[in-house]
A = this chain, B = another copy of it.
Amino acid sequence: MYHRPVRVPIDLRHSHRLLNHGPLTLVSAASGDAAAVMAAQWVMPIDFDPPRIAIVMDAYNHTRELAERSNEVGVSIPVRAQADLAFTLGSVSGRDLDKLARWSVPTFAGAEIRAPLIDGCAAWLECRLVREPDIETRHAVFIAEVVAAWADDASWRDGRWQFPDDDHRTIHHMGRGLFAVTGPTVQGQKLP
């Protein structure tokens, strides 16, 4: 089924909700003529206001190199229909080939950053790095501030995830290309 997303801007104060449930992400960066993308499960919000996230990017990773040069990263949140693409992007290094070109990954331009965002995803965060050299070097952890955020309005309604069908649900990497699909919801009740 062809799905044409309508991207709606997300209030930055609510942008943490896009990542809060711990989905897989595709992290991208661009510098000069080069652009790169990697699959990243190790991404999470760390603050509401200003909205900030932490991202693990290994040393020698090509996306990291471009992110360090540009001080920007794009974070796209892929859906079940993109599981093969996500696994593929996570299985090879951008040092060996241009993954975006090799698999004709459709991208679009963000509003605030130069890193390409991945089409067909459920949501997108445009981020600027908040440089923390010690933690980057010792732990490969990067801090980034969200400067713009977007969601597919078919999946994001009334300020929360409401997936229209299984293909458009977000996914969580369990290892070796096995993904858990974000499942049904349950409302917690406060205990007496």
- In the complex, besides A17-B175, A132-B139, A177-B189, 12 extra interface pairs with C-beta distance below 8 angstroms are A22-B44, A84-B190, A132-B135, A160-B174, A178-B187, A179-B185, A179-B188, A180-B185, A181-B183, A181-B184, A181-B186, A183-B184
Say yes or no: is A150 at the interface (Cβ < 8 Å to chain B). no
Assess whether B139 is in contact with A174, with CB atoms less than 8 Å apart. no
Say yes or no: is A161 at the interface (Cβ < 8 Å to chain B). yes
A184: chain B residues at CB < 8 Å are: 180-181, 183
Q: Report A103-151 residues with CB < 8 Å from chain B CB.
A: 103, 132, 134-135, 138-141, 143
Assess whether B178 is in contact with A174, with CB atoms less than 8 Å apart. no
Q: Which of B140, B160, B173 contacts A47 (CB 8 A)?
A: B140
Q: Report A8-28 residues with CB < 8 Å from chain B CB.
A: 17, 20-23
Assess whether A186 is in contact with B171, with CB atoms less than 8 Å apart. yes
Bound state CA distance, A173 and B186, in angstroms? 10
Of chain B, the residue at the smallest CB distance from A163 is B180
Assess whether B44 is in contact with A188, with CB atoms less than 8 Å apart. no
Q: How many copies of this protein are present in the complex? A: 2
Q: A21-B172, A190-B87 are in contact. Are A182 and B183 (CB under 8 A)?
A: yes
Assess whether B189 is in contact with A185, with CB atoms less than 8 Å apart. no
CB distance from A182 to the nearest CB of B (A): 5
A64: chain B residues at CB < 8 Å are: none
Assess whether B88 is in contact with A190, with CB atoms less than 8 Å apart. yes
Of chain B, the residue at the smallest CB distance from A52 is B139
Assess whether B22 is in contact with A80, with CB atoms less than 8 Å apart. no
Q: A46-B140, A47-B139, A191-B85 are in contact. Are A22 and B172 (CB under 8 A)?
A: yes
Top-7 shortest CB links A-B:
A22-B22, A183-B183, A87-B188, A21-B172, A177-B188, A181-B183, A83-B188
